[in-house]
Structure formats: C-alpha cells, structure tokens
Structure 1
Amino acid sequence: MHTAAFLTDLDHRLSSIETILQQELLPLPEAVLNHKPAPQSWSVLECLEHLNRYGRYYLPALEQALGHSGTALRPTEEVTFSWLGRKSYEMVRPENRKAHNTLARMNPARSHLGRTVLQEFREQLSFLKTLLPLAYHTNLNRKAVPVEFFRLLKLQVGEALLFVVAHMQRHVQQAQRAAVAATHHVAPQPA
C-alpha cells in the first residue's frame, strides 16, 4: 500500500475507535463497564486496560522511532511488511476472532478497575493520533520498534503502527460485545 493511503487508513481507523469510545463506551455506568459476559471473558474496562498496558510500551517506542526520521518514504512509495509484521498483524487484526493467550503482565483479569481506564485510553488514542503526521516524514520500512515480549526482534515502523491500531480495533470491538452482553444482564440503577 502507498504511504499516504496507508497513513490515511490508520487515521480513519483511529477516528472510528474514537467515535465508539465517545458515543458508546464513555456513557456506560460503571456496573456495565465492569460486567464480564462470562467468567473467562474480559469486561469493557479489562479490554481497555489491556490496550493501555500495551500502549504504555508501544506509544513511547513509536514516538522514538518517528522522532528519528532518517530518509522518509515518498507518499507514492510502498509500505512493506516483513514475515514478523504480517504474523503480528494477522494475530490482532479485528476480523480474526480467534482467542490468543496474553502475557500475564498484559492480562487485566481480576484487576480492580475504574473509569480512569477510560481516561487513560482516551489520552493514549489522542497521543497516537498526534504521532501519525510524523509518519509522513519517517521511513516506515525501517526496523525500529522492538517487540514488547522479545525486544531483540524489531518491527518496521509501519508494521508497528498497523499492529497497535489493529490491536486497538480488535479489543474495542471486544469491549463493544461485552457492553452489549452487560446491558442485558445488569439491572438498571434506581434514580
């Protein structure tokens, strides 16, 4: 995919996530936000806390990678993908509903979570959107972002951007499903 089209697509995906967060998730009462659809499933807040934990690692790594521009791709040049980048994206792409084991430090199950999770996620989403314009001046095919669980492996900058955004989409969709399930099981609070 050409650089400009790639970055425009990421921006659209982030805008969609932002809309879902604002219109669907932020207005939910805390009982709905913490309801688990099943004992082994994550609540809305657990889905977003999982993303926050990944964001705490990947957003600074992306900021650093985007700050070292080097030779930028022209907007008409192709963003390429390595085997690792394709595999990473395949695991987290929103259409892939297969469950994957998560690292213990990234698993928010049984955490005591509140609305601050929503605020942190909103801030991370906003920060990621401010990083995208920097990508127009960066070589997206440069290996510069260490993989969180094995830092000797590096993703290309473009791969890392796509991974983070697709991972957000996947778990925001999971949060939406948890919210729908919760609204059918959580009794409304008296006014």
Structure 2
Amino acid sequence: MKKVNKNELLQRLDDQVERHIADAVALFQNQSDEFLNRPSATGGWSIAQCLDHLNSYGHYYLPKMRDMMRAAAHSGKPDFTSTRIGAYFTKMMDPETGKRKFKAFKGHIPHSTLDSAEVVAEFVRQQEELLLLLREGTRKDLDAIRIPISILPIIRMKIGDVFQFIVAHNERHMQQAKRNLVPQSIY
C-alpha cells in the first residue's frame, strides 16, 4: 500500500471534521424536532436519523480510540501506510468513490423519532472529540495502534485507517442529511 505523510493526512481529515461541525451548527442546530425528524422525501432517513446513525458509530469507536491513543507511546514517525482492508472500507464509504447503498448494521439503525436537539448536540460533541484524537495522532504511530472494527471485532484496523473510514462515513451521511434541506419538487 501507499505511504502518505501522516501530518498531511491528519490535517485533511481535521479540515473535513471542522466542516462537519460547522455544517451541523449552521444547518441543524436550533431547528425544530419536526423539521429534523421529517423523513426524506425519497423515503430515506431524516436529518436526525442520519446524525444518530453516525453517533452510534462514535459511541463504539471514540472510547476505543481514546483509550488506545492514551496507552500508545509518542512517536516521531512521519508517515502512515494504509492496509488493503482499511483502504477498501474507506473507499467503500467515501461518497466520491463508494456509490453503492448499504443497509445499516444492527445496533446502528436509528429510531424514526428522536430528540433532535440531543442528537445534534451529541454529534457536535463527538466531532470535537474526534478532532482532539486527530490532533493527538500527530504525536503517535498511526500504523502501530489497532482498533477492533464494530461489525467484526476480531478484525483490528490501524487507527489511521479507522480515522479515514470514520470521516468518510461521516461525510457520506452529512451529504445525505443535507439533501433533506432541499425542498423536493412536487412534479
């Protein structure tokens, strides 16, 4: 697999997470429950459901990543090498390269009616925690830290791959949520 500069990778991911936070605050915060829980006109998830789905992954990954990062020694290693499986999962989730739709896994399927203010606040909190982890990653060896994946915990991915997967997955569902902002044509 291809080596990349660790700090450039983390900065790119950091920039995306900053955009997700800014969009969540500008577009979703302080909106009504009715608005955020309104199902998509195409039959998909509401804005609140999209964010709640992402929160469910954050509940799994963030504590594991935080604990593993704390336990890892500092490292001046300047690069990161993605694994085949990590690159595959990231490419699959990235809205630019992964066009296929997927069914959500059990435990990650959101309810149809949610406390939308709580969901948005939790999403922003999780994204802020993700930013801290990305920034801490500049001082760690992203190849050495392994995180069990949520769908099959016996498989452990490098934390650099997990970072990329999570941010791509977040981007995929942020785009889905933002599509619900556009009024649907009645034609």
TM-score, structure 2 as length reference: 0.89
Instruction: Tell me the alpha carbon deviations over residues 115-173 of structure 1, each in whole angstroms, 9 at most, x when there is no partner.
Output: 11011111111111111221012110125100001110011010011111111111111
Instruction: Give the conservation status (yes or no) of the 8 Å contact 1:72–1:140.
Output: no
Amino acid at match of 2:65: L
- Counterpart-to-counterpart distance in 1, 2:117 and 2:164: 27
Match of 1:87 in 2: 88
- 1:103 deviation in Å? 0.8
SS at match of 2:81: coil
- 1:72 deviation in Å? 2.1
2:116 maps to which of 95, 114, 117: 114
Q: How many residues align?
A: 182
Instruction: Give the conservation status (yes or no) of the 8 Å contact 2:77–2:140.
Output: no
- Counterpart-to-counterpart distance in 1, 2:77 and 2:83: 19
Instruction: Give the conservation status (yes or no) of the 8 Å contact 1:46–1:113.
Output: no
RMSD (Å) for aligned C-alpha atoms: 1.9
Q: Which runs of 5+ in 1 are unaligned?
A: 186-191
- 1:82 deviation in Å? 0.9
1:24 maps to which of 21, 24, 27: 27
| 2:157 matches 1:149 | no
Match of 1:15 in 2: 18
TM-score, structure 1 as length reference: 0.87
Q: Which runs of 5+ in 2 are unaligned?
A: none
Deviates more, 1:109-118 or 1:96-105: 109-118
1:132 maps to which of 129, 134, 140: 134
Match of 2:174 in 1: 172
Runs of 4+ in 1 over 4 A off after TM superposition: none
- Counterpart-to-counterpart distance in 1, 2:141 and 2:51: 30
Deviates more, 1:104-113 or 1:129-138: 104-113
